[in-house]
Structure 1
Amino acid sequence: MIMASSILVTATERGSGKSTIALGLVHLLESSLAKVGYFKPIGRRDDLGSDPDVRLMKDALGLDFSLEEMAPVTMGEVQEALSRGTYDQLLDTILEAYERIADKCDFVICEGTDYFGAMAAFEFDINADISRNLSSPVLLVTQGLNSAEADGGDQADDQIDDRAGPCGNMIKNVALVKEHFDAKGCEMFGVVINRTEPKSDREFHDAAELALQRLGLKLLGTIPRTGMLSKLRVEEVVDALGAKVISGHDRLNVAIQDVSVAGMTVEHALERIPRGSLVVVAGDRDDVLLGLAAAFVSPSVPAPAGVIMTGGLEPRKNVMNLLLDVTGRQMPLLQVQTNTYQTAIGVNKVQPSLQAHQRMRIELVKTLVESNVDVELLIARASVQPKTRRATPKQFIHRMVHTARKDRRHIVLPEGMEPRILHAAHELLDREIVDLTVLGDPDQIRREVGRLGLKPHDELRIIDPATSDLREGFAKRYIELRSPKRTPTWEMSFDLMSDPTYFSTMMVQEGLADGMVSGSVTTTAATLRPALEFVKTKEGFAIASSVFFMCLPDQVLVYGDCAVNPNPTAEQLADIALASAETARAFGIDPLVAMLSYSTGASGTGSEVDKVREATALVRERNPDLPVEGPIQYDAAIDPRVAETKLPGSKVAGAATVFIFPDLNSGNNTYKAVQRAAKAIAIGPVMQGLKKPVNDLSRGCSIPDIINTVVITAIQAQRT
């Protein structure tokens, strides 16, 4: 008998969005369970030789299993097995593949077939066989749009009366599918309704919940339709039609608002093409193509999302050069071999599909599922109490986001023209994690947002320090904060407050923002200098310091100080240890502090060991309740077997969660070695000891690094 818990996510019809629901469920469960798996028993093979849904899951969620392990069988193999009478043996193959994944997981999300191709009529039977053989209850995904009409089928009509209200047709489809699974002896777990109309979501949810209860089904959630997921991207059309991309490679992720055919004069075409349309036009229509190019850069004419040139044709050389020059090669310009009519029909058949590199859409899926689906039943089925589990990196990051979102704080990002910052800012706002202000020239930032293919965000505040009304007041306040020891001149103060780093730090100091994050293009010294000048350290702390959260496969450790203080004294090491313990506790990590040295206990001598021994004594004096051990070597601090030999009876040895390094040389090298050798995720540096949160990024930071640092800053602000 298979011991791991699982469900089978399947759909009432093709295109219901079961893959996106499955992705969101895996992500959501990973915040509570140590190991969540994904398994698609019967997949398909595209031109890349694997199932696109499985690739999406692996790349977007970082799953450990191979593509072949997660999708062991194709529908073609099922069809062949049915014709040869070897279907039962094929089910055994699926079961064995599932067990290999289930043995390593607390819970497995299985995904049903795609209702695609010649076998679609048989797939309800196949999904039922999979559910029964894997002991996976069925979670049914159905669509909420266009579901008001209920017609035909006396048996369904007996169950679906007027009380089904706006969801009659959908309930009828669910009843028919349930009847089929019931006949096969499958357990029904519940229903998720996808793509409901946002304006009537509450009414729809209540009516559907009542109707499903009468069918003996539980409604786990309704997910509203959103344009960001339902709109095609230009890249999806490129893939579906096999189009050649001539220009606009950086804007293929732009959403298509409409599809238009330009088969008339330029004037009439421009009058009829809505903004954001993908325009289909014959490749030899020089006049229309130049008009569309001009519209793309014009502020007064609706700009197209892109243009498809049909018939394998293209403008003459000079016209093509002019077209590319006018658009700065930014407009997506595609070429196909089919004629205009065939191309328009082909575009309209393309369905939006989630892809691994579409990070913002994937994060939106995660947020929608997290906000609208009741996952407690799944956790209960896994028979795991989340609080007893050591935090995995995904759990740690998910919990941080959840904490930040519960009490949203306002963070300022001074590097407003940096593309990574803008991408991160839009994702943070879309996920409703924090409120944000970016600094820079508003017009330039808005142009950069458009160039990056990001949608304008009404909630993104933009301030230009050079022209802001706050600048003069900030300059006066800077003089006050720096006096009387180093009173700057008015001119110097006023000039400094045009610097985004100084301006943003003063916003934090004056309570106009809760925290600041910088460093993607600014040095650490420049990022921290204003904070050290006038934000200053907390009472009881002589220095500011930093930690990294080292996210290992099954736990998160705290390393300090690995970024700021080169050669701290014993007193400063004590400060670092106490601040690091406070940081660990703030992020849900029980602090067991190891004061690291090249010697354990009383076995070694030397100035460096003496420094650590003195620092440990100071920590105990200042916080007698804090578990701390030192001097102690790293192996004795982390390995229970070594600890039993070197320091038996210690509460910290073998179980440390906070590691304090004696100097920056050892700390910085160790965190990088562990990051590379153990493939750990290093989140930081996280500044600590300041009165208000200011954090520094690495200049090589990625978009997820920026997001994580902003989330950490927001949580620090909650506790300031």
Structure 2
Amino acid sequence: MKTILLVPTGEGVGLTSACLGLIYALDCQGIKAGFLKPFSQESKESADRSTALYRHLTKSETVEPISYEKLVHLLNVGESDELLEEAVHLHRQIAKNHDVIIVEGLVPNAIDTFATEFNATLAQALDAKVVIVTNANIDKPAKTAEKVEAQLRQFGGLSSKRMSGVLFMRTRGLSEESAKIPVTIDPSLRLVNETQQFVQAIQKSHPQIGSALFPVIGMVPFSNTLSVPRVSDLAKQIQAHWINEGDAKQRRVLHSSLIASNIEYELHKFVAGELIISAADRIDILLASSLASSNGIPLAGLVLTEPYQPKASVFEFCQTAMKNGLPILHTQLSTFETAQILSNLSNEIPVDDTERAEQVTRFVSSHLDEDWIKVILNGDYQPRLSPSAFRHELVQKSITAQKRVVLPEGDEPRTIEAAAICQSRGIAQCVLLAKPEAVIEVAKARGITLPEGLEIVDPDLIRDNYVEKMVELRKGKLNELQAKEQLQDTVVLGTMMLALDQVHGLVSGAVHTTANTVRPAFQLIKTAPDYSLVSSIFFMLLPDEVYVYGDCAINPDPDAEQLAEIAIQSADSAKAFGIDPRIAMISYSTGTSGTGADVEKVAKATEIAKQRRPDLLIDGPLQYDAASVESVGQSKAPDSKVAGRANVFIFPDLNTGNTTYKAVQRAANVVSVGPMLQGLNKPVNDLSRGALVDDIVFTIALTAIQADQQVN
């Protein structure tokens, strides 16, 4: 068991973000890391923020910290040993189920002057390696060195065996490129040169730190994008009430503008993510904000100031904008007071802002040194394929694959944003089928930067090129006129591009139904030589492991032969994505405990699959609990090598599969990636119409990897 204590140099350094980022980075290496905050520094009326965020993000449990009141009382009466004993007890509780424990230390501040010294004592009690966490400024190495040196002295300097490294958080002065939000760990963001130059500057300004290699484990840039609050976080700060709450919990304040001059000189400020601050008697500002929102520009919100509030009749002209989610607040503070308060908001992440917490966690993780992580682990652990590791591998493999993926729903906002992310990160070369002006308009309204190299192809300019080839591919089934008509559908057009090897894969479904996406593939791409049908799988990202569910989207009621083929396809897909398959053929009965046509079908499918692929671990019929819960599996199928340990679940029909995947996804708040189609000659993948941008990004990555594997 290894324990790493993160010790801050002061307030506002991003300590909680550092802890969560390190836990995520370890998870990406397949290491199960626990979290411990031994002592709270918050009043007993409020929940501990770090502990709550850890629970929200990881869906894992941890212990409650010792209260601040108890901490201060016992220190005042000289009972620090009792505090340390309790901290060790909490540590041991977490150690039972984790490989590594990340401990959040106390924050030194004007009141808690004991924090620095007590952190050193805590490190000894827990036998922990120490990482110093500090903010930094590239242009002010001496100031950074002073803060680090003060902490180093408490732990015996750089030569101490307990000292593990220094993590620079919220580092100002780095290039703008380095502060972009990554989808996952991206080696190009390591900032090696900037880190080395900064360390050399620190050592030059503070030679007493030592001539040894300064152990920097990461340099995390300051990010304006990740330091922004939601509009809903502002109301309490400026003593405001809601005129229209709208999408206040989703919209973020990327920047704010106090508007005081004539409206015609201020129109350039009405852009995505802007918080407009104006005196309440400026009806022109209210109407301009409403017009911008009605035109598809997602302003962060509108804050009306001063005691005066517009009449209800004025807001009747703003109904469309309000229905579109424009948040509007009113405060009796002056415009100047309001702007001043909003400019000094804390960077701390609220407990309920899990979206921002997740982005910050990944951002921090992407700037940690993987080599340092491997050294600290020292090869002591057997890695597992955690959800984070799975997503990490997806992106890294797709970057290596370098494939071209067509997106027929090219003017759909989520698709455009996902394509921009994939293009900028090298996940795939994306081709948007849409009018270029429509894509540019959506991107501008939503504040999406279209990266260089992102292809936007106007369907009207290329459609006629595919008529003859389509007639040839579907010889005897359609004529030229019918082909022209079908090619009006961009999914059909994109499928033709794939059929002619002009792209390597296709992703659709954010707007279209599954049938709309899959039908052209059946007609033009067809099944691979080894298979007789097309099926689907979902990757279910449970807290500790990734499961594969098949088939949950395509085949309504497969017979035994087809079910066996689905099992084989799913096992091969699992292997392709780093999962060692243990396949459970699911039924309402385990073994021979039940009878009936449905059970017999599953039993027969199991035998066929075993005969066709003796190299695979397959068992069935198994009930879901017998397949997934070790104690139940041992009870119901004691001789099975799959029962209780299954990670590939094959459902007997579409009704069972689709119902189960949605029940698990919603009830357990599990992220699902897919459906991924299998059995086609070339990769075509379908999206849920409720897909998030991240879902689309990962589906594009899946498609690129499938294309690469089919070539190889």
Same fold (TM over 0.5): yes
Structure 1 counterpart of 2:137, which letter?
A: L
Matched, 1:43 2:40: yes
Q: What is the CA distance between 1:260 and its match in structure 2? A: 4.7
* Contact 2:304 2:329 survives alignment (8 Å): yes
Q: Secondary structure, in 3 states, of the residue corresponding to 1:343?
A: helix
Q: Determine the C-alpha separation between the residues in 1 that align with 2:594 and 2:252.
A: 65
Aligned to 2:91: 98
Aligned to 1:688: 678
Deviations 1:254-295 (A, max 9, x none): 565655544555567679999976454433344665567678
Q: Determine the C-alpha separation between the residues in 2 that align with 1:332 and 1:659.
A: 45
Change (3 A) 1:352 1:254: farther
Aligned to 2:219: 222
Q: Determine the C-alpha separation between the residues in 2 that align with 1:398 and 1:57.
A: 20
* Contact 1:437 1:460 survives alignment (8 Å): no
* Contact 2:224 2:254 survives alignment (8 Å): no
Q: Determine the C-alpha separation between the residues in 2 that align with 1:436 and 1:687.
A: 19
1:234-245 equivalent positions in 2, closer than 5 A: 234-245=231-242
Deviations 1:558-589 (A, max 9, x none): 34334322343454344323322211210112
1:83-162 equivalent positions in 2, closer than 5 A: 83-115=76-108, 118-145=110-137, 147-148=139-140
2:469 to 472, 477, 502: 477
Q: Determine the C-alpha separation between the residues in 2 that align with 1:294 and 1:631.
A: 61
1:205-220 equivalent positions in 2, closer than 5 A: 205-210=195-200, 211=203, 214=211, 217-220=214-217
Structure 2 counterpart of 1:310, which letter?
A: T
Matched, 1:189 2:164: yes
* Contact 1:265 1:288 survives alignment (8 Å): no
* Contact 1:538 1:691 survives alignment (8 Å): yes
Deviations 1:441-497 (A, max 9, x none): 55555555566x5534336957576x43221123332212111x31x1222212212
Structure 1 counterpart of 2:488, which letter?
A: S
Identity across aligned pairs (percent)? Answer: 34
* Contact 1:192 1:220 survives alignment (8 Å): yes
Q: Determine the C-alpha separation between the residues in 2 that align with 1:641 and 1:287.
A: 68
Matched, 1:5 2:23: no
* Contact 1:189 1:217 survives alignment (8 Å): no
Aligned to 2:65: 71
Aligned to 1:31: 28
Structure 1 counterpart of 2:568, which letter?
A: L
Matched, 1:368 2:363: yes
1:491 to 455, 462, 481: 481
Q: What is the CA distance between 1:682 and its match in structure 2? A: 5.0
User: Which segments of 5 or more consecutive residues in structure 1 lack a partner in the other structure?
Assistant: 149-166
1:168 to 138, 142, 148: 142
Structure 2 counterpart of 1:29, which letter?
A: L
Q: Determine the C-alpha separation between the residues in 2 that align with 1:122 and 1:315.
A: 52
Deviations 1:173-217 (A, max 9, x none): 212221234389893210122324333955431133443762664
Aligned to 1:154: none
Aligned to 1:713: 703
Q: Determine the C-alpha separation between the residues in 2 that align with 1:480 and 1:445.
A: 32
1:365-514 equivalent positions in 2, closer than 5 A: 365-382=360-377, 385=380, 388-416=382-410, 421=415, 433-440=427-434, 453-458=446-451, 461=454, 463=456, 467-483=459-475, 485-486=476-477, 488-514=478-504
Q: Determine the C-alpha separation between the residues in 2 that align with 1:603 and 1:96.
A: 46
Q: What is the CA distance between 1:551 and its match in structure 2? A: 4.8
Q: What is the CA distance between 1:691 and its match in structure 2? A: 0.9
Structure 2 counterpart of 1:566, which letter?
A: P
Q: Determine the C-alpha separation between the residues in 2 that align with 1:315 and 1:598.
A: 63
Matched, 1:342 2:337: yes
* Contact 2:12 2:347 survives alignment (8 Å): no
* Contact 1:175 1:215 survives alignment (8 Å): no
* Contact 1:546 1:560 survives alignment (8 Å): yes
Q: Determine the C-alpha separation between the residues in 1 that align with 2:642 and 2:557.
A: 24
User: Which segments of 5 or more consecutive residues in structure 2 lack a partner in the other structure?
Assistant: 179-190, 204-208
1:277-296 equivalent positions in 2, closer than 5 A: 278-286=275-283
Q: Determine the C-alpha separation between the residues in 2 that align with 1:257 and 1:670.
A: 40
Structure 2 counterpart of 1:227, which letter?
A: N
Q: What is the CA distance between 1:530 and its match in structure 2? A: 0.6
Structure 2 counterpart of 1:473, which letter?
A: N
Q: Determine the C-alpha separation between the residues in 1 that align with 2:298 and 2:659.
A: 51
Q: How many residues align?
A: 687
User: TM-score normalized by structure 2?
Assistant: 0.81
Q: Secondary structure, in 3 states, of the residue corresponding to 2:247?
A: helix
* Contact 1:294 1:327 survives alignment (8 Å): no
Matched, 1:311 2:306: yes
Structure 1 counterpart of 2:165, which letter?
A: G
Aligned to 2:687: 697
Q: What is the CA distance between 1:529 and its match in structure 2? A: 0.5
Aligned to 2:183: none
Q: Determine the C-alpha separation between the residues in 2 that align with 1:641 and 1:59.
A: 28
Q: What is the CA distance between 1:145 and its match in structure 2? A: 1.9
Q: Determine the C-alpha separation between the residues in 2 that align with 1:402 and 1:100.
A: 35
Q: Determine the C-alpha separation between the residues in 2 that align with 1:641 and 1:45.
A: 41
* Contact 2:420 2:451 survives alignment (8 Å): no
Q: Secondary structure, in 3 states, of the residue corresponding to 2:460?
A: coil
* Contact 1:8 1:137 survives alignment (8 Å): yes
Q: Secondary structure, in 3 states, of the residue corresponding to 1:249?
A: coil
